[in-house]
């Protein structure tokens, strides 16, 4: 294993990328809460990395084909299938649900950053442990 080549860092990076993308999706849902015909999108919290691990990418047979932006994670964004109830303007954003998801996502980001900090501190501890011999 290479130094700092720990797979935990890869996992944390991917999970944080997804969490940031989810933050954007929720923000767009909230921003479009009053937009007619807008349908809510979401990224599931459960078992996201299994999909992200398999590296699904758009096949490009021509250079003019559209690039998948944001590192090819856009396929994670799904329409909210549980929300059939729409308002009169065909908008199905539920503001309270979005706010709950936002709080949950913030907690997840905090936890993941804390774990990352811990992982780096581990290395730092071992490196500086021999200083006071």
Pick between residue 36 and residue 44 the one whose CB is nearest to other proteins. 44
Which one of residues 20, 49, 58, 103 is an interface residue with other proteins (CB under 8 A)? 49
Check binding of 20 to other proteins (CB under 8 A).
no
Cβ neighbors of 14 (< 8 A, separation 6 or more) are: 49, 52, 53
Check binding of 71 to other proteins (CB under 8 A).
no
Check binding of 77 to other proteins (CB under 8 A).
no
**25: nearest Cα among 9, 44, 11:** 44
DSSP H or E run through 42:
strand 41-42
Q: Count CB neighbours of 133 within 10 A.
A: 4
**2: nearest Cα among 59, 78, 10:** 10
Which one of residues 2, 4, 47, 59 is an interface residue with other proteins (CB under 8 A)? 47
Check binding of 55 to other proteins (CB under 8 A).
no
Name the burial class of residue 114, with classes exposed (0-12), middle (13-18) and buried (19+) by CB atoms within 10 angstroms of its CB: exposed
Check binding of 96 to other proteins (CB under 8 A).
no
Check binding of 119 to other proteins (CB under 8 A).
yes
* Binding residues for other proteins (CB under 8 A): 6-8, 11-12, 14-15, 44-50, 107, 111-112, 115, 118-119, 121-122, 125-126, 129-130, 132-133
């Amino acid at each position: 294993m290479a130094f700092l080549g720990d797979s935990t860092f890869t996992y944390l990076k991917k999970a944080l990328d997804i969490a940031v993308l989810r933050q954007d999706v929720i923000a767009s849902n909230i921003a479009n809460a009053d937009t007619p015909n807008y349908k809510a999108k979401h990224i599931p919290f459960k078992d996201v990395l299994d999909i992200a691990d398999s590296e699904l990418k758009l096949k490009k047979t021509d250079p003019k084909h559209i690039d998948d932006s944001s590192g090819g994670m856009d396929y994670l964004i799904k329409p909210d299938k549980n929300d059939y109830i729409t308002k009169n303007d065909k908008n199905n954003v539920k503001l309270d649900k979005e706010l709950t998801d936002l709080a949950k996502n913030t907690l997840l980001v905090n936890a993941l950053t804390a774990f990352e900090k811990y992982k780096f501190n581990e290395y730092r501890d071992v490196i500086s442990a021999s200083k006071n011999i």
